[in-house]
Structure 1
Amino acid sequence: MTNDRQARLEELLDRQDILDCLIRFSRGMDRFDRELFLSAFHSDAVIAAGPFVGGPVELYDWAASLHEHGQVATHHNLLNHTCEIDGNRAHAETYYLFVGRNRDDTNWIAGGRYIDRLERRDGAWKIALRTNAIEWSGMVPTLPIPFADVPGIHANGAPSRDKQDPSYRRPLTNQRQTSIPGR
């Protein structure tokens, strides 16, 4: 393998590790998985998000409380992602789309960008500094959640904001009966 190809492969692995780090943050917040959330940050990281400026433990406690009391479901979706790697430091910009189902059955949507400085320490990429550029926000008309009235719809597990969510089940298996609408 040529040196150029090896360097490109190493950069791709680093980029994937960085993206995996950002996904741990999003999934950890949406599932209220504190350990997963904190694994995305170095313990001395500084995060500036809305009115919050502080460390990862305090961010989790503050944000989880807001989401737990304000919404019944949240989705932190990661979109366009750019990443510049320079040795053990990287700068990333990741567009996001946040959607929350509020406790009053309204839906809040917001978009912006996470702007991160990540550092590789002890072989692991984690966020060292984050600023959150919130660019827009709004309410989406409320509609019923689709298929909520289908018998057995949650036989494979109901969505939840903890480790009871079906995404944690190993191995994932199907418990629902075959059903082909219209037949």
Structure 2
Amino acid sequence: MYVTAEHALSAPATDANAVVQELRDRAEILDALYRFGLGQDLKDKALFASAFAADAELDFRPAAAKWGAKPPLMSGRDTIVTTILAMFTGRVDTTHQVTNTRITIDGDTARLTALVEAQHLLIADSTTHALLKNPYDVDLVRDGDRWVIRRLRIDNTWYTGDPTAIFGN
């Protein structure tokens, strides 16, 4: 599942232009994942939507299977944005922290793996919360000067708390 290349950059160190382009791409690739997390945390529809390609897929099924939930595979940027924000807005506060990012780039496509810690806290009852440590496997595509998520698969290494803080009862 993880990107395990032995070097961060693939551009030759002697090719300054290629190095600069790859560093820019890597920053934009990371930014797509940051827009995904912060868009949820702020309940910012435009920011959240900017993380996805129009034909994106979000697969939370592997993570949810750990506690017996069966969410659908979400397909299409509009479906993903509407579903996630409707599930959280006014009901759940979230925070997302991203770490251990690894990236490979192949032309106009890229793959990113990361660990994401996601906190979900019910607004009406702060004693109901769920904290998850999730490996993310992300396929991205170039969209002009930025990168967007085409496919995001979220697994779960561990969780603590009450998963109803995420999906409800």
When the two structures are superposed, what TM-score results if normalisation uses the length of structure 1?
0.69
Structure richer in helix, relative to its length: 2
Q: Which residue of 1 aligns with 2:133?
A: 111
Q: Which residue of 2 aligns with 1:34?
A: 45
Q: Which amino acid aligns with 2:156?
A: I
Q: Distance in 2 between matches of 1:66 and 1:38?
A: 15
Q: CA deviation at 1:65?
A: 2.3
Q: Bigger shift: 122-131 or 111-120?
A: 122-131
Q: Distance in 2 between matches of 1:116 and 1:21?
A: 10
Identity, in percent, stands at 28
Contact 1:52/1:59, CA 8 A, preserved across alignment: no
Q: CA deviation at 1:132?
A: 1.0
Matched, 1:78 2:89: no
Q: Distance in 1 between matches of 2:14 and 2:56?
A: 34
1:67 aligns with one of 69, 83, 88? 88
SS where residue 104 of structure 1 aligns?
coil
Q: Which residue of 2 aligns with 1:8?
A: 19
Matched, 1:94 2:105: no
**What runs of 5+ residues in structure 1 fail to find an aligned partner?**
141-183
Q: CA deviation at 1:14?
A: 0.5
Q: Which residue of 1 aligns with 2:4?
A: none
Structure 1 segments of 4 or more deviating over 6 A?
none
Q: Once superposed, what is the RMSD of the aligned Cα atoms?
A: 1.8
Matched, 1:46 2:57: yes
Q: Which residue of 1 aligns with 2:77?
A: 56
SS where residue 52 of structure 1 aligns?
coil
Bigger relative contact order, structure 1 or 2 (CA pairs below 8 A, ≥6 apart) = 2
User: C-alpha offsets along residues 131-154 of structure 1, whole Å, 9 cap, x if unaligned?
Assistant: 1112221129xxxxxxxxxxxxxx
Q: Bigger shift: 123-132 or 50-59?
A: 50-59
Q: Distance in 1 between matches of 2:47 and 2:136?
A: 18
Q: Distance in 2 between matches of 1:56 and 1:114?
A: 18
Structure exhibiting the larger radius of gyration computed from Cα positions: 1
User: C-alpha offsets along residues 30-89 of structure 1, whole Å, 9 cap, x if unaligned?
Assistant: 111111111111111122123231222212222222223542x21011111000011111
Q: Distance in 1 between matches of 2:133 and 2:149?
A: 20
Matched, 1:128 2:150: yes
Q: CA deviation at 1:3?
A: 5.1
Q: CA deviation at 1:21?
A: 1.2
Q: Which amino acid aligns with 2:17?
A: Q
Q: Distance in 2 between matches of 1:96 and 1:34?
A: 20
Q: Distance in 2 between matches of 1:60 and 1:125?
A: 17
